[in-house]
């Protein structure tokens, strides 16, 4: 599960709408999201965006995280700015300190095509190997 205290408001709303429509794959979120209106998503997003970001305590592979940092700077930092602590455009999620397992699942879903990417992000992801994706997950999970 993602940690979403302090998550970017539009990214949260977009995720909830995509869960509701089935565009984003899920086990339980799709069913839950069907019970809420856009106005309620907006209200929830406003609440969570105002919370202090929660930095998860987790162990990562430091060698992988160091490799991931380089790939992130080269390919991802234009949109996921400041090591994923901030964002360039609204709708871009904050990833710094996110749970490792959650990030790994997102990469798997993107890679298999289960979860859709924006066109610009897909252009970058094409250049990344499966091993580098795992390095990236360790890197973003490690950012404090
Ligand atoms: C052109 C801007 C752009 C670039 C470059 C980009 N991203 Fe993204 N990223 C986005 C946007 C916008 C979203 C949210 C929309 C979506 O679901 O696709 C996102 C979502 C994500 C998510 C999902 C996070 C979550 O909590 O759901 C991950 C993981 C991610 N990006 C990783 C990366 C990595 C790693 C790179 C570099 C290889 C990268 N992105 C490059 C714009 C970008």
Can you give the residue range of the structural domain that contains 61? Answer: 56-144
Tell me, yes or no, whether 42 and 110 share the same domain. Answer: no
Among 13, 39, 54, identify where a domain stops: 54
pLDDT on residue 49: 95
Residue whose Cα lies nearest atom 17 of ligand 1: it is 117
Q: Which atom of ligand 1 is nearest to the CA of 136?
A: 35
Beta carbons of 56 and 3 less than 8 angstroms apart = yes
Tell me the C-alpha distance between 40 and 30, whole Å: 15
CA 38-39-42 angle, 5° bins: 85
This prediction has a pTM of 0.94
Residue whose Cα lies nearest atom 6 of ligand 1: it is 121
Q: Which residues contact 24 (CB under 8 A, 6 or more apart)?
A: 15, 18, 30, 115, 116
Total number of domains in the chain: 2
Residues touching ligand 1 (Cβ under 6 Å) are: 2, 11, 75-76, 78-80, 91-93, 95, 103, 106, 117-118, 120-121, 124-125, 128, 136
Tell me, yes or no, whether 48 and 72 share the same domain. Answer: no
Q: Which residues contact 78 (CB under 8 A, 6 or more apart)?
A: 88
Tell me, yes or no, whether 43 and 72 share the same domain. Answer: no
| CATH, residue 109 | 1.10.760.10
pLDDT in tens, the chain (144 residues): 999 999 999 999 999 999 999 999 999 999 999 999 999 999 999 999 999 987 778 999 999 999 999 999 999 999 999 999 999 999 999 999 999 999 999 999 999 999 999 999 999 999 999 999 999 999 999 998
């Amino acid at each position: 599960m993602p940690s979403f205290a302090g998550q970017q408001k539009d990214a949260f709303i977009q995720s909830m709408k995509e869960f509701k429509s089935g565009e984003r794959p899920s086990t339980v979120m799709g069913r839950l999201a069907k019970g809420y209106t856009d106005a309620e998503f907006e209200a929830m997003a406003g609440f969570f965006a105002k919370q202090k970001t929660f930095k998860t305590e987790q162990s990562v592979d430091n060698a992988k995280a160091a490799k991931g940092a380089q790939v992130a700077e080269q390919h991802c930092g234009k949109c996921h700015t400041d090591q994923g602590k901030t964002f360039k455009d609204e709708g871009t999620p904050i990833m710094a300190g996110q749970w490792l397992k959650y990030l790994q699942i997102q990469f798997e879903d993107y890679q298999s095509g289960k979860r859709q990417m924006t066109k610009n992000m897909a252009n970058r992801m094409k250049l990344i190997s499966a091993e580098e994706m795992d390095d990236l997950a360790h890197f973003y999970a490690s950012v404090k």
